[in-house]
Structure 1
Amino acid sequence: MSKVWILGHGQLGSMLKHAAMPLAVEAIPVDIDSEQLPELAADDLVTAERELWPDTPVTQALANHPNFLNLHVFGRLADRYTQKQLLDDLGLATSPWLLVDDTVSADDVYSKLGERALMKRRTGGYDGRGQYWLKQAEGTQIPDDWRNEAIVEKGIAFDEEMAIVGVRDREGKKFFYPLTLTLQLGGVLTASVAPLPRLKPLQAKAEEMLGKLLDGLDYVGVMAMECFRVGDELIVNELAPRVHNTAHWTQAGASVSQFESHMRAVAGVPLAQPQVKGLNVMINLLGTPRDERWWAISGAEPYWYGKEVREGRKVGHITFTHSGDKRLIQGLDELKLLLPERYGRVIDWVEDALAGG
């Protein structure tokens, strides 16, 4: 049995462990703050559920193992400065940007990037955190503590947000999941829908873009690419060298989930093109107390992470997979009555997305 150590023991690590079981792969999520070091054998493998981690005895032990796949990639993509440089080097469309160093003024930003620009911390910011808008009309200036710690991007007037997830093995074979339409509220993924027929014309372009990244990095495993759609063009917003929230729907809606695809690639189990079982909707549960009635909704597949419920925290998700829209919408309408009122607009967005194809 292959043994794969996973740096990190959050919900993604748990899902990877679960997906590895049918493959006869032993996956072991590791608490990076543990006082007990992992007992690594020479032929063990190492992967990660996160792209950034602190320097601890555990992370040192894992990072020093010669079979830590993609080790050279994580730091490069975790830093938005080097991530942007990579996208530019590969000729992939992304928001025009600048490094926020000591020489850049807000006037420089407005002159080069336009009247609205978004500063992002180079590392650590996610789910809407670590961001700061510069708006010329309001005379916004660059705070001193953001200098040499951030990049700034042109504000993009996009039509929609979407993501694609792909997997690559050691021999360079690649497979992709369908483009997934996403709803971000406050910078946090709240819902996703896939596949939508109207997104099919963009699928080949998205696969080409992500494939170029996977090959350029000699990457092994699953990677996610979040994009803005502007007309018929895709602009890369963020990259994640790991399994990703936007493809959680694959647990219920694909013959091979993103988690299984990642474990196959890492452990050397043959990849296969995932077959999509139907129309999929995933609702993120954010700071929402557990409700046993979710499990009684026909077609609903709740996944509870077992974490303490805190405001805005991802504590679970619910997926619907159906071949007919009518049954799917019935389930969503039932769920709407059992979620906090703020989810009304989320369910409405999903139903509008389904109606628009």
Structure 2
Amino acid sequence: MSTIWVLGAGQLGAMLKQAATPLGLNVRPVDIESDEILNLASNDIVTAEREEWPTTKATEQLATHKNFVNLNTFPQLADRLTQKQWLDRLNLATAPWFPIKQDSSSEHCYSTLGERVLLKRRRGGYDGKGQFWLKQDEATEIPEDWKGHAIAEQAINFDEEVSLVGVRGKNGESYFYPLTLNLHINGILYASIAPLHRLNHLQSKAEAMLSKLMEALDYVGVMAMECFRLGDDLLINELAPRVHNSGHWTQAGASVNQFENHIRAVAGLPLAPAEVKNLSLMVNLIGVPVNYDWLSTEGIELYWYKKSVRPGRKVGHINMCSGDTTKLNKALTKLDAQLPEPYQEAIKWLKANLPE
């Protein structure tokens, strides 16, 4: 049986391996810093849990394998310049933007995009990193070392942040999970909730947007699309050509989670719509030590990544799935007392978005 190699051995790689085990598939995540000589067979399959990686002996072997699924997609979407160009080319709505060049000025940013402009590094940057705000009332200037290496985006006064996770097979068939409502604090995802009936009217619009992109790229596997909701309109904020944090709730709330769907797709196995079991909540564990007392709460499903704990680092997540909102409310109240700031904001937000 062929091996599915995952370029990257973080939590996403570990969860891909876990999801493949019941299918009898051999998945092997590989550390991006490894200089190991890998025993790759010609019929093996390669996928990735990340958009970019350094050149090492291990990554070079994987990145040159003939069965690296979506190899050409990663550089297109990892660079925010080419990602935005793809969205514009396909007439997919996104925030007004332009590239920051060597001769770009903050005055041009303000006159073109408004008094608040977000600079994003073209490569790297996640969880709020690689971003810089230009504010006209503070006379903020473009950092010199950002010129030629960033894009400028208009600040969007959005109503909410939502995401769509979809999967596309080798034969072109696509399936989608319900839209997920997300809360970011300081640029980091803290909580998600899905499905919500009040977002149903946006589902077909979001699916059409992500389908158009996946088909244009001939993409195979799971892709996530993060959007701003402005009334009944969606603006694409970021794209991730991989399994995504905002889809972690599917581990508890769907018959086939995003990780299994990705493995099925890249391995060429049959895809089918996932049955959504009930309302699901996800709480990211960020910079907090493991507390196994969490498990004393009915319905809690803990995923601990076995990482060293440091501020701002995602070290695990908690899932809950139930049709009983009273039970979910009680679980959130208990979690509220077990987690430090700023989790009070995240718990309050989750409670406020529980259906009545």
Do both share a fold (TM > 0.5)? yes
Per the alignment, residue 332 of structure 2 pairs with 332
Per the alignment, residue 155 of structure 1 pairs with 155
| Counterparts of 1:318 and 1:330, CA distance in 2 | 15
Q: Retained in 1: the 8 A contact 2:103–2:147? A: no
Per the alignment, residue 323 of structure 1 pairs with 323
Letter in 1 for 2:219: Y
| Counterparts of 1:292 and 1:8, CA distance in 2 | 27
Letter in 2 for 1:202: L
Count how many residue pairs are aligned between Structure 1 and Structure 2: 356
| SS of equivalent residue, structure 1 residue 124 | coil
| Residues 334-349 of structure 1 aligned to structure 2 (within 5 Å) | 334-349=334-349
CA shift for structure 1 position 313:
0.5
| Counterparts of 1:306 and 1:331, CA distance in 2 | 24
| Residues 27-66 of structure 1 aligned to structure 2 (within 5 Å) | 27-66=27-66
Per the alignment, residue 116 of structure 2 pairs with 116
Per the alignment, residue 4 of structure 2 pairs with 4
Structure 1 residue 267 corresponds to structure 2 residue 267: yes
| SS of equivalent residue, structure 2 residue 338 | coil
Structure 1 residue 106 corresponds to structure 2 residue 116: no
CA shift for structure 1 position 2:
3.3
| SS of equivalent residue, structure 1 residue 5 | strand
Q: Retained in 2: the 8 A contact 1:120–1:130? A: yes
Letter in 2 for 1:261: N
| SS of equivalent residue, structure 1 residue 290 | coil
Letter in 1 for 2:91: G
Q: Retained in 2: the 8 A contact 1:2–1:267? A: no
Q: Deviations over 1:317-342 (max 9, x none)?
A: 00110011111111111111111142
CA shift for structure 1 position 254:
0.3
Per the alignment, residue 165 of structure 2 pairs with 165
| SS of equivalent residue, structure 1 residue 274 | coil
Question: Structure 2 unaligned runs (5+)?
Answer: none
| Counterparts of 1:72 and 1:204, CA distance in 2 | 28
| SS of equivalent residue, structure 2 residue 183 | strand
| Counterparts of 1:301 and 1:72, CA distance in 2 | 36
Per the alignment, residue 351 of structure 1 pairs with 351
RMSD of aligned Cα (Å): 0.8
Per the alignment, residue 214 of structure 1 pairs with 214
Per the alignment, residue 199 of structure 1 pairs with 199
Moved more, 53-62 or 64-73: 53-62
Q: Retained in 2: the 8 A contact 1:2–1:24? A: no
Letter in 1 for 2:149: E
Letter in 2 for 1:284: N
- Give 4+ residue runs of structure 1 displaced > 2 Å after superposition: none
Per the alignment, residue 94 of structure 1 pairs with 94
Q: What TM-score results when the alignment is normalised by the length of structure 2?
A: 0.99
Per the alignment, residue 17 of structure 2 pairs with 17
Per the alignment, residue 299 of structure 2 pairs with 299
Q: Retained in 2: the 8 A contact 1:25–1:267? A: no
Letter in 1 for 2:345: R
| Residues 223-234 of structure 1 aligned to structure 2 (within 5 Å) | 223-234=223-234
CA shift for structure 1 position 75:
0.8
| Counterparts of 2:336 and 2:153, CA distance in 1 | 36
| Counterparts of 2:270 and 2:24, CA distance in 1 | 13
Q: Deviations over 1:206-258 (max 9, x none)?
A: 00000111101000000000000011100000000000000000011100000
Per the alignment, residue 308 of structure 2 pairs with 308
Question: Structure 1 unaligned runs (5+)?
Answer: none
Q: Deviations over 1:118-173 (max 9, x none)?
A: 00000011100010001111111111110001001000000000100000000000
Q: Retained in 2: the 8 A contact 1:99–1:151? A: yes
CA shift for structure 1 position 177:
0.4
| SS of equivalent residue, structure 1 residue 71 | coil
Structure 1 vs Structure 2: percent identity of aligned residues? 57
Q: Deviations over 1:286-345 (max 9, x none)?
A: 001111101111011011111001111100000110011111111111111111142111
Q: Retained in 1: the 8 A contact 2:221–2:263? A: yes
Structure 1 residue 190 corresponds to structure 2 residue 190: yes
CA shift for structure 1 position 3:
1.3
Q: Retained in 2: the 8 A contact 1:167–1:220? A: yes
Letter in 2 for 1:103: D
Letter in 2 for 1:36: E
| Counterparts of 1:156 and 1:341, CA distance in 2 | 26
